[in-house]
Structure 1
Amino acid sequence: MKKDFTTIWENSLQIIKDNVSLQSYKTWFEPITPIKLKDKVLTIQVPSQFFYEWLEEHYVNILKKTIKKELGPEGRLEYSIVMENNQSNTKPYTVKIPATNRQATKNNPVTMPIDLNKDKSIRNPFIIPGLKKINVDSQLNPNYSFKNFVEGDCNRLARSAGFAVAKNPGGTAFNPLLIYGGVGLGKTHLAHAIGIDVKNRFPNKTVLYVSSEKFTHQFIDAVRNNEHNDFIHFYQMIDVLIIDDVQFFAGKAKTQDVFFHIFNHLHQSGKQIILTADKAPVEIIGMEQRLLSRFKWGLAADLQAPELETRIAILEMKMYNEGLELPKDVVEYIAYSITTNVRELEGALISILAQASLNKKAITIDLARQMVDKFVKNTAREVSIDYIQKVVCDYFDMGIDTLKSKTRKREVVQARQIAMYFSKQMTKSSLATIGMHCGGKDHATVLHACKTVNNLMDTDKRFRGYIEDLKKKISLQ
């Protein structure tokens, strides 16, 4: 029985579906329409020139193998490309291009340019077609304001630069402003805060926050729906564009290309660009050099892990905003225990409050320890030197300043040696780093302290009891 072109394409899709991801299948194969079959040449219609080029670049091998399986060794594939046309009253037309003649296509491009200055309604990818610039929703989260952003040594440069940009968007040397740092350090919060402040100061400016993932999906949809130029024109109208997690553009050549042109237009027009990334520009792999060089035009400001004082301040602000009260030792325990991620810090606080509320338990240091244990169970986290010192000082009822002082009182020296001992046992810090945290001692002093503690454990039963008690209190696993 002779197969028609529809059946052949349906059979081909079944094979393709088993060899690509579901998202890729929906994006790049579902929109294709089979048109005809003649002399073992299957013609398929694709939405645009870009769509055709993407298939040829990424899926040509599987297409060739599938067609040959369905049509035999002589089977071939041709594309019928729907062309963009700037005459709204003219129906789209197609041009056929052999799948094996890509070079001819480059020499004779089939797409027709659209005049970006033409007076027409531009499709807004965030809402619905036909809305003007003034209707753009900024996509900003009102909870992420400067008021709620705790400043510390870890983020002072980025916050100051962000505040300067908010007061004069597009008018400072910080354009683009690239904020980078690890997960949960406040990049997104700060980016939103800048956007919110701009909106408050300049109500007529169009501010837009968008994640790089959403930008990419919008671009793919625009290409698939033949709205590529509307997509570009929409983003070129924005006064302050905030792109979150720009590192996800890596490896996406077409997305980088369209963003490059949008970036250039905005920058040349004096509009403000704000980017966030999880690493510095020089460390982003898979990004075109021409884009990386533009990321360096302005300021790249990093966010570092918050120091102890900032962590405590973050927890206190969270409590104040939520109208909550926690014992001081519980707040300090959380701040000492979770050292690298603000999001985890706030999450641990909420978990403790929820546990206490649901089970009608008092909020104590023991409850905090149980919840923090569960919260960080999967992170293989080590305790910090700061936390070890706090536990030792609380156990011997002395201040941390006393522990770090130069006094030679026997009880202080012994507490200091115990803190050094546990720091060496329970952290990956170097001897020099441990000594620095214990009042500026050198590595030889730390080694001597560890030997002293080991000797006393062997000979002094009471001292060995101290060590066992402290080990239980320090251990978070």
Structure 2
Amino acid sequence: RTTIRQELGNKAKLEYQILTNKSSVSTTAAPSNNNSGQVTDSTYTPGMVATENIKNPFIIPGIKKVKVEPRLNPNYLFENYIEGDCNRLARSAGLAIAKNPGNTSFNPLVIFGDVGLGKTHLAQAIGNEVMEKWPDKNILYVSTEKFTNQIIQSIKNNAVNDLVTYYQLMDVLIVDDIQFLANRTKTQEIFFHVFNQLHQNNKQIILTSDRPPKDLNGMEERLISRFKWGLSADLQAPDLETRMAIFEAKMSREGLDLPQDITEFICYNIKNNIRELEGVLVSLIAQSSLNRREIDLDLTKEVIKNFVKHINKEITVEFIQELVADHFDVPVEKLQGKTRKRQVVIARQLSMFLTKKLTGKSLKAIGENFGGRDHSTVIHSCKTVQDLMETDAILKDTVAELEKKIKLSLNEK
């Protein structure tokens, strides 16, 4: 009785149910003390209490579903995540997950790629889409740094089990920058148990990383193995068309409309990082507003110099070779070599033609930059390109495009 009073309060009462016959439905409730008790024919079941003031011992804390704050950025949506060849697979997988989280073959989904390519945006866009379609689901976005700090604190407070239980409440768990788990043995161990529990219960796991799972050095093999269970989708540097679409979308949100030549100039020169595109736009708006300057090509060049590490003062042979080699997808060394493969020959001849037209270098100097070829070879290459342009519209367009890229580059005088 002492224990019962401690647990249920002073007003607690015991009722004894005496069954006279197994087949009998009615029971008699007899109070356990001398106080008069009310006789009832109703059957007592766990969860029923005599008064509202008495705590019900059968209601176990934690059984009722707790709604978790998702910590998602509401601006990271599929609607403003521009699709291109660079991200189509990852974006399509994300949309499929949002329709049926935890029940696709994309579990876990590992999104990997270099800095500034939109990994966090895509991961949170999935979370926001799930939240809209499945409002009752628990979704949580957490950085690996925050997760690690939580584990450190839980160890100090002897509350690791509480933390693990908290994470196991999630229907969708998004962990950003998973590579920072490397060489953190205890954190990896705890994450391993969280991962297993969620995956076994068909809960969706989304991870981002700056490298594919196989290259996660300092990570336990059992974790790497589990990261490979689902889909690993890489985000590549966006091509020119995608960069243009991204930049124009960002301009539209800022209420800005720049001339086409300025937009092209920016997107030709900021090639690998979407964040840098955003940075250029913000800097242009700030410079224009604070200094009351019109956004023209000169101001744009000034701004972009803060985002590009190496700026040459003139067009160089090396730059032309790199640009042409990249366009034709051939190694630069091949342009200086002796190979006679058609793709390489065309790229080499075009490089010589553009070098002669745009640099003012002598024929001898041009030849030396292409594997020590003599001036007559340079003349022949330039004439070949000139003649082909008169009959080959595709080649003519290619030359025009390459020339435009060179002139729009920061290497222009």
What interval of TM-score do these two structures reach, taking the shorter chain for normalisation?
0.5 to 0.7
Question: Does the residue aligned with 1:374 lie in a helix, a strand or coil?
Answer: coil
Does the C-alpha gap of structure 1 residues 381 and 241 become closer, same or farther in structure 2, counting only changes over 3 Å? farther
Picking from 146, 158, 161, the partner of 2:93 is 161
2:134 is the alignment partner of 1:134? no
Aligned amino acid, residue 198 of structure 1: V
| Aligned pairs (5 A) from 1:63-78 | none
Q: State the alpha-carbon separation in 2 of the partners of residues 290 and 165 from structure 1.
A: 24
Question: Does the residue aligned with 1:287 lie in a helix, a strand or coil?
Answer: coil
Aligned twin of 2:177:
245
Aligned twin of 1:176:
108
Give the superposition deviation at 1:240: 0.4
Q: CA RMSD in A?
A: 3.4
Aligned twin of 1:31:
none
The C-alpha deviation readout for 1:345-381, integer Å capped at 9, x for no partner, is 11111111111111111111111111001222xx348
- Runs of at least 5 residues in structure 1 that lack an aligned partner in the other structure: 1-88, 90-117, 123-131, 389-417, 461-466
Picking from 219, 235, 257, the partner of 2:189 is 257
The C-alpha deviation readout for 1:313-339, integer Å capped at 9, x for no partner, is 001111112222111111111110010
Give the superposition deviation at 1:457: 3.4
Aligned twin of 1:68:
none
Q: Which has the higher contact order (CA 8 A, sep 6+)?
A: 2
Q: State the alpha-carbon separation in 2 of the partners of residues 305 and 473 from structure 1.
A: 18
The answer on whether the counterparts of 1:139 and 1:208 sit within 8 Å (CA) in structure 2 is: yes
Aligned twin of 2:362:
458
Give the superposition deviation at 1:456: 6.6
Q: State the alpha-carbon separation in 2 of the partners of residues 433 and 367 from structure 1.
A: 34
The answer on whether the counterparts of 2:76 and 2:124 sit within 8 Å (CA) in structure 1 is: yes
Aligned twin of 1:309:
241
Aligned twin of 1:475:
411
Picking from 344, 349, 353, the partner of 1:443 is 344
The C-alpha deviation readout for 1:88-115, integer Å capped at 9, x for no partner, is x9xxxxxxxxxxxxxxxxxxxxxxxxxx
The answer on whether the counterparts of 2:325 and 2:331 sit within 8 Å (CA) in structure 1 is: no
Picking from 96, 99, 119, the partner of 2:60 is 119
Aligned twin of 1:93:
none
Q: State the alpha-carbon separation in 1 of the partners of residues 145 and 96 from structure 2.
A: 28
Query: Over alpha carbons, which structure has the higher Rg?
Result: 2
Does the C-alpha gap of structure 1 residues 253 and 459 become closer, same or farther in structure 2, counting only changes over 3 Å? closer
Give the superposition deviation at 1:446: 3.9
The answer on whether the counterparts of 2:73 and 2:124 sit within 8 Å (CA) in structure 1 is: yes
Picking from 266, 273, 280, the partner of 1:334 is 266
TM-score, normalised on structure 1? 0.59
The answer on whether the counterparts of 1:256 and 1:288 sit within 8 Å (CA) in structure 2 is: yes
| Identity value in percent | 50
- Runs of at least 5 residues in structure 2 that lack an aligned partner in the other structure: 1-6, 8-58, 335-340, 365-402
Aligned amino acid, residue 345 of structure 2: A
| Aligned pairs (5 A) from 1:9-158 | 119-120=60-61, 133-158=65-90
The answer on whether the counterparts of 2:269 and 2:410 sit within 8 Å (CA) in structure 1 is: no
TM-score, normalised on structure 2? 0.67
Does the C-alpha gap of structure 1 residues 332 and 473 become closer, same or farther in structure 2, counting only changes over 3 Å? closer
Q: State the alpha-carbon separation in 2 of the partners of residues 176 and 345 from structure 1.
A: 30
2:213 is the alignment partner of 1:281? yes
The answer on whether the counterparts of 1:421 and 1:449 sit within 8 Å (CA) in structure 2 is: no
Q: State the alpha-carbon separation in 2 of the partners of residues 420 and 166 from structure 1.
A: 49
Per residue, is there more helix in 1 or in 2?
A: 1
2:321 is the alignment partner of 1:424? yes
Give the superposition deviation at 1:198: 0.4
Does the C-alpha gap of structure 1 residues 473 and 335 become closer, same or farther in structure 2, counting only changes over 3 Å? closer
